[in-house]
Structure 1
Amino acid sequence: MNARDPHARAPRSPRLRPARLAPADVLRLGAVGLRARRARVVLSALGIAIGIATMVAVVGLSHSSRADLMARLDRLGTNLLTVEAGKDAEGNEAKLPKSAVAMVERIGPVQHATATGDVPAQVRRSDVVPKERTAGVSVQAARTDLLTALNAEVAQGTWLTAANERLPVTVLGSIAARRLGVTAPGEKVVMNDEYVVVVGVLEPVELVPVLDRVALVGFPAAEEYLGFDGHPSMLFERSPDATVEDVRTVLPRTVNPGDAGSVKVSRPSDALAAKAATDEGLTALMLGLGAVALLVGGVGVANTMVISVLERRAEIGLRRAIGATRGAIRVQFLTESLLLSAIGGAGGAVLGAAATFGFALAQGWTPVVPVWSLAGGFAATLVIGVLAGLYPAVRASRLRPAVALSAT
């Protein structure tokens, strides 16, 4: 076509397209916005960090405590059953038969059976202490195989043996020794006006903590010196885990065939299991408090971003005037909000993990910080960042260039 042809069409100018920022440029732009307001960023991120640290620490400490509890249960065993005498049909205190241990041992799956008995004796540090001041320590008769059945240990000295169970000697529970002021084996205490030699002190008995507060003597010695009638007050029985419930069912009729209703059977490990369930409830409560703290931190981030939009209207207007789209403005402020939340989340995760390790080690636990708690906490901060930055980002993108540039 001739260039001078009056009907010729002028060539079209190419359509202009707004340039798009690469992801790295978006992150760099968001970081610049945060560096310009460092004090405000630190305070806003601190709210997020406190919430995440609380949640991570609560989960970590709960798992560390539960792991320690499960380790204790594995060590102590969950197959221990205790038998106590309750009240008979007339409401009177019942007594277990003297042959109760032998009858329990005849149950097929039973691996071990032993007993203790309440002894009507008072314990004092010396004969100059008034008789009514027993320091809350009672006396119980014990068989020589008691420690084996309970997986208990002696902290100092020795346990009762076939050689000394007939002699006026005693082994004190850990709390009983402290209350009586006994610091080492070889010291003496007074039982019913007679001096008795302390031959050992027990470690705390976790499955049967009542034994921590008693003075234990042999069955023969208790009958000879302290007026013990020989009737056991508590039996301890172990059987394979698979048969525990079956043995539990037949124990009352075996121990006291004539009055099975007066026999109480319990499983000490159930108390530790109940403690684990209680810890789970407390963990849920503390997680709720951590979520509230995280929500408050999110409100702080939203407030920071709204103020940032108001302060930077001139910047927004200039960017719009030179070609930035509304979408680019939204992405910029959402990125700043996400970075702000991520800083708080990362700091909170580190702080929560450190708190978990510190407290767990101080308690003698094995520190456990589940990976999902760290990942979940960080993901929650990103969600908070998006929600907190959404309104400020939309508001910034709707500013008209002329109005924004005229703002002072």
Structure 2
Amino acid sequence: MSLVPVRLRPRDVVRVGASGLRARPARVALSALGIAIGIATMVSVIGISASSQEELLRRLDRLGTNLLRVQPAERIGGGPVRLPADARARTERIGAVASASATGRLDASIRRTDRIPEADTGGIEVLAADLGLLRTLDGRVRVGSWLNGGTARYPTVVLGSVAAQRLGITRTGVQVHVQDRWFTVTGVLEPLPLAPEIERAALIGVPAAQAHLGYDGHPTTVYERSSEGSVREVRDLLPRTLSPEDPSEVAVSRPSDALAARAAAAGTFTGLMLGLGAVALIVGGVGIANTMIISVLERRREIGLRRSLGATRGQIRVQFLTESLLVSALGGTAGLVLGTLATLSYALVQGWPPVVPLWALAAATAATLLMGGLAGLYPAVRASRLAPTVALSSA
């Protein structure tokens, strides 16, 4: 009569595997810590990156992706290229254009007082601006008011958010020195993510720029908005409309593309941090493997006793492989919780919508089980190869 070994049920396998962990809780916790750190790093990096991109997409939705910026292109043979003085009017002739406005760069510097050297500009440009600029850019005034038909004729200036910060100005009525005369600040703008050059600029009405700063009326930048569906058509028409003789002298860009590129660039940083998380995960796997090998050496008597009572090599392998998987699962669960909490906390502090992709959680779970299986494979095989007599005699 042949003896057939009893087949262990899944519940029995888990109970036998967990018994080894309960006997050494401190060692198990330290082994699981490496896995937890690796998984937490991976989940938090993916979650924070996803939250940042979601915030960027929401910001793009609010700002709109239908803004185009037109500037002179570089001439191949050198020499300056100028947009026509009626560039804004020409742009508005395109049927799909909803609004257009222009700014012109002035050869002038702005300083807080006349005692500051003219060369010390603080990176602030002085621009002549159309009255419709704020409407085209969908901008807002933080303090004071925007230029109007009256203030645009007098020495008044509206500051971009960055320009105001660099000049140390937080209220209106303050005077600043532009070129060789005083201008009164009548407004400070809110940030304009789609037009960062306006944030770093001092804006003066076209009539005042012509009267006091020698503005020749040729704009250096034209901003245009159209419907979302007609952006590509307008983009193709603008160079031929503004410069029929040589359309290549006109460069058209889409400011929202720069913001979208920032989201793509964030992927490089995410990849680096994921690499660090993977290293931590591997280190954690090595720690589990080391713990399991030591456990096999310490439990030779237990292995020999189980083998002498009829346990097969397969059952011994399953026991130690289950222990390794349980340690890895414990660390992986802790890592998932820590990584999710880190993502939620950071996103809430930054004012972003918290996002933890489900695929990231699934990938982290799969990585945890894979690492646990690989770490426990060699110790499990080693334990199963111990002969009962050798194991009992060396105990």
Q: TM-score, normalised by structure 2?
A: 0.95
In the TM superposition, 1:198-277 aligns within 5 A as: 198-277=185-264
Q: Distance in 2 between matches of 1:90 and 1:28?
A: 81
Two-structure CA RMSD over aligned residues (Å): 1.6
Q: Distance in 2 between matches of 1:108 and 1:373?
A: 46
Kept in 2: contact 1:120–1:139 (CA 8 A): yes
Q: CA deviation at 1:90?
A: 4.2
In the TM superposition, 1:296-307 aligns within 5 A as: 296-307=283-294
Q: Give yes or no for the alignment of 1:171 onto 2:140.
A: no
Q: CA deviation at 1:89?
A: 5.7
Kept in 2: contact 1:144–1:218 (CA 8 A): yes
Structure 2 portions without partners, runs of 5+ = none
Q: Distance in 1 between matches of 2:283 and 2:266?
A: 26
Q: CA deviation at 1:88?
A: 4.1
Aligned to 1:84: 71
- The one of 64, 76, 81 equivalent to 1:94 is 81
Q: 1:21 to 1:150 in 2, by over 3 A?
A: same
Q: Distance in 2 between matches of 1:198 and 1:225?
A: 16
Aligned to 1:7: none
Aligned to 1:123: 110
Q: Distance in 2 between matches of 1:166 and 1:262?
A: 32
Q: CA deviation at 1:257?
A: 2.0
Read off the aligned partner of 1:67 and give its amino acid letter: E
Q: Distance in 2 between matches of 1:333 and 1:385?
A: 11
Read off the aligned partner of 2:186 and give its amino acid letter: V
- The one of 62, 66, 77 equivalent to 2:49 is 62
State the aligned residue count: 395
Residue 200 of structure 1 aligns to a residue in which SS? strand
Read off the aligned partner of 1:400 and give its amino acid letter: A
Encode CA deviations 1:279-310: one digit per residue, 9 max, x unaligned: 23332333233223222221221111111101
- The one of 300, 304, 318 equivalent to 1:313 is 300
Q: 4+ residue runs of structure 1 moved beyond 4 angstroms?
A: none
Kept in 2: contact 1:63–1:368 (CA 8 A): yes
Residue 83 of structure 1 aligns to a residue in which SS? strand
Mean Cα deviation higher: 292-301 or 226-235: 292-301
Kept in 2: contact 1:89–1:262 (CA 8 A): no
Read off the aligned partner of 1:242 and give its amino acid letter: G
Encode CA deviations 1:306-359: one digit per residue, 9 max, x unaligned: 111011001111111222222221121111011000001001111111111122
Aligned to 2:143: 156
Aligned to 1:51: 38
Q: CA deviation at 1:103?
A: 0.7
Kept in 2: contact 1:88–1:259 (CA 8 A): no
Q: Distance in 2 between matches of 1:89 and 1:37?
A: 75
Aligned to 1:360: 347
Encode CA deviations 1:12-31: one digit per residue, 9 max, x unaligned: xx754433443323222222
Aligned to 1:30: 17
Q: Give yes or no for the alignment of 1:295 onto 2:282.
A: yes
Q: Give yes or no for the alignment of 1:342 onto 2:314.
A: no
